[in-house]
Chains A and B, each alone.
Chain A
Amino acid sequence: MTAALLPPWPVAGPLAIAGLLLAGGRLLPRRGPDVIALLTTLGVAAACILLAIGAADGPIVYWFGGWTPRDGQAIGISFRVDLAGASVASFIAGLFTITLAFAWGYFDEVHAHFHVLMLLFMASMVGFCLTGDVFNMFVWFEVMSVAAFSLTGYELKASPLSGAVNFTVMNTIGSYLFLGGIGLAYALAGSLDMASIGRVLANAPASPIADAAFVLMATGLLVKAAQVPFHFWLPDAHAVAPSPVSVIFSGVMVALGIFGLTRLSFAMFTGVPAVMAVTHTLLLGLGVASVVVGGAMALLQRHLKRMLAFSTVSHTGMLLVGLALGDRAGIAGLLTYLAGHGLVKAALFMVAGILLALCGGVDEIELRGKGRQIWPAGVAMAVGGLLLAGAPIGLMDDGLSSLAEAAKAAGNVWLLPVFAFGAGSTGGAVLRATGRIFAGLGPVAGIEEQSPTEQEQEKADRSFPFMLVCAVVPLLAVLATSHRVDGLAERAAVQLGAVAHKGAPVSSLLAWSGVAFALLLAGTGLWHPALPRPVLKTAKFLVRPLAASLSYVHSGAVCDYVAWLVVGLALFTAAFALV
């Protein structure tokens, strides 16, 4: 089969299988749904890789129902499979494969419902990456959301349920705004095909409708991407979802918000100067704010999954910075970093899952020293922490170098310390937790307040070596693909339409400063009582108010989050008024 006929398969195939699983799941033998779901993800991965190979020479455009455009008017829906979309889709399918392997046998109580939801989740993500039609994108966006909402509350405990409510309310408002943006674009351009809309917008005189369409769509996608000030729902949801689900959430779902925005920007808005100006300024600012806030909040957490969730905010902020820079190196860095971060974060959430299954919790303080018996998981976690911190090896480092190169080319050298802060603080938080949990480092916590979480435990029916292998595979993938993906990402960026800027390569100083910062933070976090008294006092004096105000803002009440969402809309309005 040639790649030109392949596009519907990786989306409609898993959908049909999910439908059959729901209808006949209870007729299958006990491990039947596991096997079928795993085979399906493998099939989708293979199809997406074939698509990526086929798209290397140029995007594959597939018109559903054979409805090719007439007289320039698109009347059907197209998949526009480019190198970037197909590569990200392959990555998604691969991540689902390893996650389903990790979750093997974990969810077998309610028939095949978990597998049905996971297959729908994957199919919608792949559809989101491949589609060339903006309303079709909304449909997959929404299927993805509905699957995610259901999976978050799967455990039926109080925290997962209220996390799921916050997640659902925020993302639903986001998707209605997204749909409103589609309505405005349709009013202006009379089409739903991204490429057609892009042509119309580029040739039309500047119109506030185009700006408003961008604002609404961008807000919808930034809510999904959990960027400041739309990010509040993420830690609530990611921290409490079942670990295999968190792997997907932090590994790829959040980053898809940025990827979707990238596709929309390049397909529809490159010809609108005001939108481009706002992209280069406001989105850059929001990205930087996310990097900083996410990093600082990660440091303040003791609940491991919540820490990882905030780290996802921080690293997704780097992706947004890549999009805001928007040149070839920035977009290539975005794509590489997306894959690298997704894999590392997947591994870390799997380690958290191992802790939940074997040690009965993920609270850093409570688990002090309890991970000694399963020290190999600690090694995996330490490697993950170092990679987050920007250790100069592997996919994440490749991506970060590209991003830094783009920042330098755009004259924004001040971004480099921001990157180092984000990488260092998130990596430092993870390293600190590793040291405490797996090596029992640091003094025994005395007057630390009680753990803010309820009893958490995940089923311990999988063997430790098996789970560990699942967690190590993504890390090995990150290391093994070092310097092998750059070329692919660069070609994908070219295909999207990103222009090259002349930039100088960045020295490895950035990577090392991130790692050094992380080690410093981890050490301080573990042994801060040993510091000289005046130093400690000054540090507390400086950090306390910051930490308090950050905690004040991250209140957990969904009403606050919605107010902040409107503040975000106000920021966009102001930005468009100023450019």
Chain B
Amino acid sequence: MTGWLDVLPWAVAAWLLGIGLYGVVTSRNVVHLIGCLSVVQGATYVLLLSVGFRTGGIAPVFYAKPPSTSAVDPVTHAMVLTDVVVGATVTALLLALVLQLHKRRGTLDPEELRPMRPK
């Protein structure tokens, strides 16, 4: 296979990290910012699952296949499952914080939401 195509997974992971951070840096709305964080997280999904992939390997479920079949790495899958939980918990918490913050400050602009300043 061509060399540059094999770099694609890592390039996509790096791109997601970069574009997600770009979104965070330029965000004018905290809800949008939280969405961008999930893009940053997408980078970790892509990286981990690509690391655990094996060309021609089956999914690590030996229900219909004998256990000797070449399969991909289940450990990375378990890691990404944990990562999905991390993402969900952090997103829920941030949304709750932002919701309460909006009630008190009446804005969602991160520039206006600085701590330690009067209303």
Contacts and interface: CB of A to CB of B under 8 A. Distances in A.
Q: Are chains A and B touching directly in their complex (CB below 8 angstroms)?
A: yes
B51 interface: yes
Contact of B40 (A149, A176, A453): A176
B116 A556 contact: yes
Bin the interface of chain B by size.
Answer: 35 or more
A165 B97 contact: yes
Task: State the majority secondary structure of interface residues on A.
Answer: helix
A146 B21 contact: no
B115 A556 contact: yes
A452 interface: yes
Contacts of B44: 176, 179-180, 183
B92 to A, nearest CB: 10
Contacts of B83: 179
Q: Which residue, A165, A172, A183, has most C-beta atoms of chain B within 10 A?
A: A183
Interface residues of A, number: 50
Contacts, number: 129
B115 A183 contact: no
B51 A183 contact: yes
A563 to B, nearest CB: 5
Contacts of B105: 158, 162
A284 to B, nearest CB: 27
A312 to B, nearest CB: 16
Task: State the majority secondary structure of interface residues on B.
Answer: helix
Contacts of A558: 24, 33, 110
Interface in A169-226: 169, 172-173, 175-176, 179-180, 182-184, 186-187, 192
Contacts of B101: 158, 161-162, 165
Interface string A537-572: 000000000000000000111110011011000000
Nearest 4 CB-CB pairings of A with B:
A556-B114, A158-B104, A163-B115, A161-B101
Given A175-B86, A562-B25, 6 more contacts: A172-B90, A176-B40, A179-B44, A187-B51, A239-B116, A559-B26
Interface of A: 135, 139, 142, 146, 149-150, 153, 156-166, 168-169, 172-173, 175-176, 179-180, 182-184, 186-187, 192, 236, 239-240, 303, 306, 450, 452-454, 555-559, 562-563, 565-566
